């Protein structure tokens, strides 16, 4: 295969840590039976879905993968980063999925070790290689309603610190409970239309 994607269509890539719900989100959006799993590391290789005007790409998560050695996990991450860089020309949009029920805790743990939290590091990386980045705060069903707004503000402030260039686009969602999907789709459509592309036939109905 010559190019990054044999169809040459604009690509939308879904990235994020293992187990945050990348494949579940793609399933909900496209109706395609992509592999979803309870344990981190369900998606082992990238999967390209030819979806009307665009190609949707599911990739393995970065971080812990159940049953895989540290070397394999490290190799997977390196591989994902290299692939993303090689797709740069075709990338129209990157969707970074975050588990909003874990973000603050992980952020604090990494920061206290003096490290850049991996979600934030990936946000900066995606912002460099893709003209648009949408952050999906997934698993909102796992956060108490009264705490949601505060968790989202925390996320936004950390993303903003990382790349002061543009205001982060954050969508609150639950792929499992099918909440927030219509909002997400309308943000996606707006960005695609802005870039002169047609809107794909999402599998999301207006009631969801």
Ligand X SMILES: Nc1nc2c(ncn2[C@@H]2O[C@H](COP(=O)(O)OP(=O)(O)OP(=O)(O)O)[C@@H](O)[C@H]2O)c(=O)[nH]1
Q: Where do contacts with ligand X occur on this chain (CB under 6 A)? A: 16, 18-24, 36-38, 40-43, 60-61, 138-139, 141-142, 174-176
Query: From the list 4, 26, 29, 42, which residue makes contact with Mg ion (rule: CB under 5 A)?
Result: 42
Which residue number, 43 or 130, has a Cβ lying nearer to Mg ion? 43
- Which of the stretches 1-9, 18-26, 63-71, 105-113 binds Mg ion when contact is defined by CB under 5 A? 18-26
Stretch that binds Mg ion, among 37-45, 86-94, 109-117, 139-147 (CB under 5 A): 37-45
The binder of 139, among ligand X, Mg ion, none, by C-beta within 5 to 8 A per type, is: ligand X
176 binds, among ligand X, Mg ion, none (CB under 5 to 8 A by kind): ligand X
Residues facing residue 88 across a β-bridge: none
Contact flag: residue 43 with Mg ion (CB under 5 A):
yes
- State in angstroms the smallest separation of the CB of 174 from ligand X: 4
Q: In sequence order, which residues have a C-beta less than 8 Å from that of residue 74 and are 6 or more positions away?
A: none
DSSP assignment string, 80-140: HHHHHHHHTTTEEEEEEEEETTTHHHHHHHHHHTT---HHHHHHHHHHHH-S-EEEEEE-G
CA atoms within 13 A on the CB side of 35: 14
**Residues near 64 by beta carbon (within 8 Å), at least 6 away in sequence:** 18, 40, 41, 73
Q: State which residue has the least CB distance to ligand X.
A: 61
CA distance 193 to 126: 20
In the bound complex, what is the minimum distance in angstroms from residue 114's beta carbon to ligand X? 26
Q: Encoding tokens for residue 107?
A: 């952020």
Positions in the binding site for Mg ion (CB under 5 A): 22-23, 42-43
């Amino acid at each position: 295969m010559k190019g990054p994607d044999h169809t040459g269509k604009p690509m939308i890539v879904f990235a994020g840590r293992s187990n945050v719900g990348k494949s579940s989100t793609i399933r909900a959006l496209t109706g395609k039976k992509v592999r979803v799993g309870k344990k981190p590391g369900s998606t082992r290789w990238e999967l390209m879905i030819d979806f009307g005007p665009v190609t949707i790409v599911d990739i393995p998560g970065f971080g812990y993968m159940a049953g895989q050695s540290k070397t394999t996990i490290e190799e997977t991450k390196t591989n994902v980063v290299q692939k993303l860089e090689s797709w740069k020309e075709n990338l129209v949009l990157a969707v970074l999925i975050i588990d909003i029920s874990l973000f603050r805790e992980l952020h604090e743990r990494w920061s206290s070790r003096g490290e850049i939290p991996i979600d934030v590091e990936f946000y900066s990386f995606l912002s460099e290689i893709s003209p648009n980045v949408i952050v999906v705060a997934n698993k909102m069903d796992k956060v108490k309603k009264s705490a949601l707004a505060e968790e989202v503000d925390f996320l936004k402030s950390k993303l903003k610190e990382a790349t002061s260039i543009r205001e982060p686009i954050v969508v609150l969602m639950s792929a499992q409970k099918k909440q927030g999907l219509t909002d997400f789709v309308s943000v996606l459509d707006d960005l695609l239309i802005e870039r002169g592309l047609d809107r794909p036939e999402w599998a999301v109905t207006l009631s969801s």
